[in-house]
């Protein structure tokens, strides 16, 4: 399906993302407070803080995807393939994604070192993403496995569905190809809420948007996103094991 055949629009995008951020920022803390106040149940203490937050976050993400499916399939009567959920040419799309990722990867690494250097020159201590800090501090193997699953599979698939499959086609007719890729990459970096990794994630986001624009499929973006997160988490876990006394 061509991007100009898409029926959903910016209003639908705003509804989904407003619902998503409201549930993440307000809904999860409110739900935990309700459980504690009215049921006397401290879920975070019972299950562990990391498990609780990741489980609720996963629930919110799944709900957001179901909301997107409802809008696409029920409201507009379009097939889910309109989101790029298609296996057509999957082998060539995987190869294309891997090829472009390994071309871009040195620039992501260079951006990381450059940002670190700039922060150090200005005497600013860079803060890690919350998920990274949780991973470095966690000692329970089952919880670590859950975190790895969330970071390497669940998050990449859901984020690509929302940002590339759903957002990209809706803003494409308004902004055009180049501006859509840049806007999509910028928003993708912004929602990670960490200025220290903004440039690196922006570069990755631009690549993911470009791959979706080029292939009209989520296969290449999901492949790259999973690979990138897997490499990052493998590095962090290795670092944690090698330097666990200093984490």
- Alpha-helical (H) ranges within 39-129 are 43-47, 49-69, 90-121
Q: What is the mean pLDDT of the chain?
A: 88
Q: What is the reported pLDDT for 244? A: 57
Q: Please, are residues 83 and 166 in contact by the beta-carbon 8 Å criterion?
A: yes
Residues 1-24 have pLDDT tens digits of 555 678 999 999 999 999 999 999
Residues 143-181 have pLDDT tens digits of 888 888 998 999 999 999 999 999 999 999 989 999 999
List, in sequence order, every beta strand (DSSP E) within 169-246.
Answer: none
> Poorest-confidence range of 26-35, 36-45, 91-100, 149-158?
36-45
Residues 184-206 have pLDDT tens digits of 999 999 988 788 889 999 999 99
Q: How many angstroms separate the CA atoms of 153 and 22, rounded? A: 24
Q: Please, are residues 196 and 111 in contact by the beta-carbon 8 Å criterion?
A: no
């Amino acid at each position: 399906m061509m991007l100009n055949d898409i029926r959903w629009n910016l209003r639908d995008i705003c509804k989904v993302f407003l619902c998503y951020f409201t549930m993440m920022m307000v809904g999860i803390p409110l739900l935990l407070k309700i459980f504690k106040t009215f049921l006397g149940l401290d879920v975070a203490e019972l299950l562990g803080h990391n498990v609780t937050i990741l489980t609720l976050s996963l629930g919110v993400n799944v709900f957001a995807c179901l909301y997107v499916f409802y809008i696409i399939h029920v409201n507009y009567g379009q097939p889910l393939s309109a989101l790029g959920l298609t296996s057509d040419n999957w082998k060539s799309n995987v190869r294309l994604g891997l090829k472009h990722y390994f071309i871009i990867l040195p620039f992501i690494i260079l951006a990381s070192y450059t940002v670190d250097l700039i922060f150090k020159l200005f005497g600013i201590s860079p803060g890690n993403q919350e998920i990274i800090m949780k991973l470095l501090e966690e000692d329970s193997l089952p919880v670590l496995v859950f975190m790895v699953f969330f970071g390497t599979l669940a998050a990449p698939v859901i984020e690509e569905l929302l940002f590339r499959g759903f957002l990209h086609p809706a803003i494409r007719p308004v902004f055009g190809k180049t501006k859509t890729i840049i806007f999509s990459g910028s928003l993708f970096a912004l929602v990670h809420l960490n200025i220290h990794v903004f440039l690196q994630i922006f570069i990755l986001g631009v690549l993911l948007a470009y791959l979706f624009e080029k292939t009209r499929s989520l296969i290449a973006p999901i492949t790259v996103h999973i690979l990138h997160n897997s490499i990052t988490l493998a590095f962090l876990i290795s670092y944690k094991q090698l330097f666990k006394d200093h984490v």
